[in-house]
């Protein structure tokens, strides 16, 4: 995995891919599948919607750390599987044969098999709306990985994979932040 400039890290999330969020509770690692995410600032800041219904939430709240790992479409069945079992009774790294890689800043692990990873700290929890605001501290991309198409959950059990790309950089030049 190669370092990605933090000023570009928001581009890993802006398209709205379903992501895996890892935590470490001091003893063991856990993973949750999260589709309800958005970019909140270029710094970068991200918002995710989660709460006590996710086993990971307790570790997220207590450690104030996590990693956002972005899977590609070849991990779809693992992503769905991770989202339909609980870390309360499952070692998800073992069950889904994913490789936990130590990060540089936080104790939550990166996921080696993912397209990108972002080490994050919790900067705020907006309890009223179950919104957790995360600051990206370090970002990595798996440059050599061939399959890079991400997955977008529809919410009804179907998923959309990245299709054709369009370049509108000229039209948008004045609006793209420097460093991107």
Residues in touch with a second copy (CB under 8 A):
8, 10-11, 14-17, 35-41, 45, 47-49, 73, 76-77, 80-81, 83-84, 124, 126, 128-131, 133, 149, 151-176, 180
Q: Between 25 and 61, name the residue whose CB sits nearer to a second copy.
A: 61
> What is the closest distance, in whole angstroms, from the C-beta atom of residue 2 to a second copy in the complex?
17
Smallest distance from the beta carbon of 17 to a second copy, in angstroms?
A: 7
Q: Distance (Å, rounded) from C-alpha 115 to C-alpha 147?
A: 8
* Residue (25 or 152) nearer to a second copy, CB: 152
Q: Which of 147, 3, 160, 159 is nearest to 71 (CA)?
A: 147
Distance CA 148, CA 151 (A): 10
The distance of closest approach from Cβ of residue 151 to a second copy in the complex, given in angstroms and rounded to an integer, is 8
The β-bridge partners of 141 are: 2, 116
Report phi then psi at 60, rounded to 5.
-60, -45
- Closer Cβ to a second copy, 89 or 156, answer by number: 156
At its nearest, how many Å lie between a second copy and the CB of residue 56? 16
Omega of the bond leading into 49 within 30 degrees of 0 (cis): no
């Amino acid at each position: 995995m190669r370092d990605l400039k933090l000023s570009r890290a928001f581009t890993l999330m802006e398209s709205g891919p379903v992501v895996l969020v890892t935590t470490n509770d001091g003893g063991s690692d856990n993973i949750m599948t999260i589709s309800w995410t958005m970019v909140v600032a270029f710094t970068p800041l991200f918002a995710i919607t989660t709460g006590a219904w996710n086993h990971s939430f307790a570790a997220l709240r207590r450690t104030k750390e996590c990693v956002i790992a972005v899977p590609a479409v070849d991990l779809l069945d693992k992503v769905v599987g991770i989202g339909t079992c609980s870390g309360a009774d499952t070692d998800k790294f073992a069950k889904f044969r994913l490789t936990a890689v130590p990060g540089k800043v936080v104790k939550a692990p990166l996921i080696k098999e993912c397209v990108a990873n972002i080490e994050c700290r919790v900067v705020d929890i907006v309890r009223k709306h179950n919104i957790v605001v995360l600051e990206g501290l370090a970002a990595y991309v798996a440059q050599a990985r061939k399959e890079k198409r991400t997955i977008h959950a529809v919410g009804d059990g179907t998923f959309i994979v990245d299709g054709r790309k369009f370049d509108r950089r000229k039209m948008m030049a004045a609006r793209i932040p420097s460093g991107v």
